[in-house]
């Protein structure tokens, strides 16, 4: 409720792709076919547009999203490629391989799409419609699979509409997806190429290109995957979080919502949404957390956030950020 809109379904003609790209540039949501599964695309450089993805999917948590690009050249504006990453991108892009890499200083992908992390997931899809849409939008597109949270990934336009009709602006219909399985995810951070998610590109093909085996995230490791989407260690502020605070003290910083903590003296105060809008609050969450962390306060008091809609995801992320850590 609250974000009903008319969903335009069109065959992926050049005219429809151009119109959908316009829609993306204005912050809209477009379901696009890729060779793996349909993705729910938004302008990856806009926190507000990315917040719309989480709202439409009804995601209970903010998992980081894949930024879809045209190829290695544009990917290099967003991330740092080591020799392994370069080799894998040259071997398999465009195609069903996602690389998780350190974000570049020039990275324009929204902190919300990255879930506040210093790494970024990038993929150049091999589907003519996705490629044309990225090109026409002129920016990276953040896109998780175009299904409601908890449902299986959609491999045709009917699947997408069954979950998202009335919640997104466009769907570009190009029939069935060739692979019908999500991309394989490999991290090239420090510690050698590591398989994070098996997918449409076989592990053997990746190992043949690398000339050595891929590491696998060890079961039982602190951030071992328990389910898809839990593959990452999450952004954690240095400051301690005091949740659902009704008041703030002078030495604390305040992460406010709807002006609840306004007026009291404190070290710094940033309001996630002065008008109490949860989509706006989600868009600001990671950027404001980082800024308050840099204020030097050792405690960040966070205002109560409603539990409805994106509030559930915001509260989930704040609880994780507040949990004691032994890192």
Stretch of 143-151, 159-167, 236-244, 287-295 lying at the interface with ligand TXA (CB under 6 A):
143-151
Find out whether 235 is annotated in a ligand binding site: yes
Instruction: Tell me the C-alpha distance between 73 and 128, whole Å.
Output: 18
- Interface pattern 21-60 for ligand TXA (x via CB under 6 A): -------------x-xx-x---------------------
149 is an annotated ligand-binding site residue = no
Is 110 among the residues that bind ligand TXA (CB under 6 A)? no
Per-position b or e across 156-173, b if 16+ CB within 10 A of its CB: bbebbbebbeebbbbbbb
Nearer Cβ to ligand TXA (178/242): 178
CA distances from 194 to 58, 82, 109, 186, 215 (A): 30, 13, 23, 5, 4
- 203 labeled binding residue: no
Classify the phi-psi angles of 286: left when phi > 0, otherwise alpha if psi is within -120 to 50, otherwise beta: alpha
Interface with ligand TXA (CB under 6 A), residue from 145, 273, 302, 315: 145
Distance CA 275, CA 257 (A): 8
When the beta carbons of 132 and 185 are compared against Mg ion, the nearer one is 185
Sheet holding 141-142, edge to edge: 8-11, 170-173, 30-32, 39-43, 141-142, 66-68, 119-123, 97-102, 184-187, 194-197, 215-216
Exactly one of 71, 180, 228, 259 binds ligand TXA (CB under 6 A); that residue is 228
The site string for ligand TXA over 197-226 (x = CB under 6 A, - otherwise) reads x-----------------------------
Decide whether 115 or 281 has the Cβ nearer to Mg ion. 115
123 assigned ligand-binding residue: yes
Site string for ligand TXA, 61-100 (x = CB under 6 A): --xxxx-------------------------------x-x
Interaction with Mg ion in 128-157: which residues (CB under 5 A)?
A: 145
SS3 18: helix
Tokens at residue 57, please?
A: 């999917």
**Which residues are documented as binding site?**
36, 59, 63, 68, 123, 143, 145, 153, 183, 197, 235
């Amino acid at each position: 409720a609250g974000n009903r809109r008319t969903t335009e379904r069109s065959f992926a003609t050049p005219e429809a792709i151009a119109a959908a790209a316009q829609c993306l540039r204005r912050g809209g949501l477009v379901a696009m076919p890729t060779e793996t599964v349909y993705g729910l695309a938004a302008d990856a450089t806009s926190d507000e547009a990315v917040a719309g993805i989480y709202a439409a999917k009804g995601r209970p948590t903010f998992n980081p999203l894949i930024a879809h690009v045209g190829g290695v050249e544009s990917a290099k504006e967003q991330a740092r490629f080591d020799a392994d990453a370069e080799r894998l991108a040259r071997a398999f892009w465009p195609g069903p391989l996602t690389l998780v890499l350190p974000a570049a200083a020039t990275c324009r992908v929204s902190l919300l799409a990255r879930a506040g992390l210093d790494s970024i997931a990038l993929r150049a899809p091999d589907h003519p419609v996705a490629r044309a849409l990225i090109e026409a939008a002129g920016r990276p597109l953040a896109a998780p699979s175009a299904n409601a949270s908890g449902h299986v990934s959609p491999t045709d336009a009917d699947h997408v509409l069954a979950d998202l009709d009335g919640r997104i602006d466009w769907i570009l219909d190009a029939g069935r997806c060739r692979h019908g399985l999500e991309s394989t995810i490999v991290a090239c951070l420090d510690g050698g190429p590591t398989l994070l998610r098996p997918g449409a590109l076989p592990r053997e093909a990746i190992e043949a290109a690398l000339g050595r085996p891929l590491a696998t995230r060890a079961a039982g490791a602190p951030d071992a995957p328990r389910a898809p989407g839990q593959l990452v260690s999450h952004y954690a502020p240095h400051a301690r979080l005091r949740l659902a605070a009704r008041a703030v003290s002078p030495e604390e910083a305040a992460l406010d919502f709807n002006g609840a903590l306004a007026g009291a003296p404190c070290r710094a105060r940033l309001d996630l949404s002065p008008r109490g809008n949860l989509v706006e609050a989600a868009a600001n969450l990671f950027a404001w957390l980082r800024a308050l962390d840099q204020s030097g306060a050792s405690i960040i008091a966070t205002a109560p956030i409603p539990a409805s809609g994106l509030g559930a995801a915001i509260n989930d992320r704040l609880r994780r950020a507040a949990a004691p850590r032994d890192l």
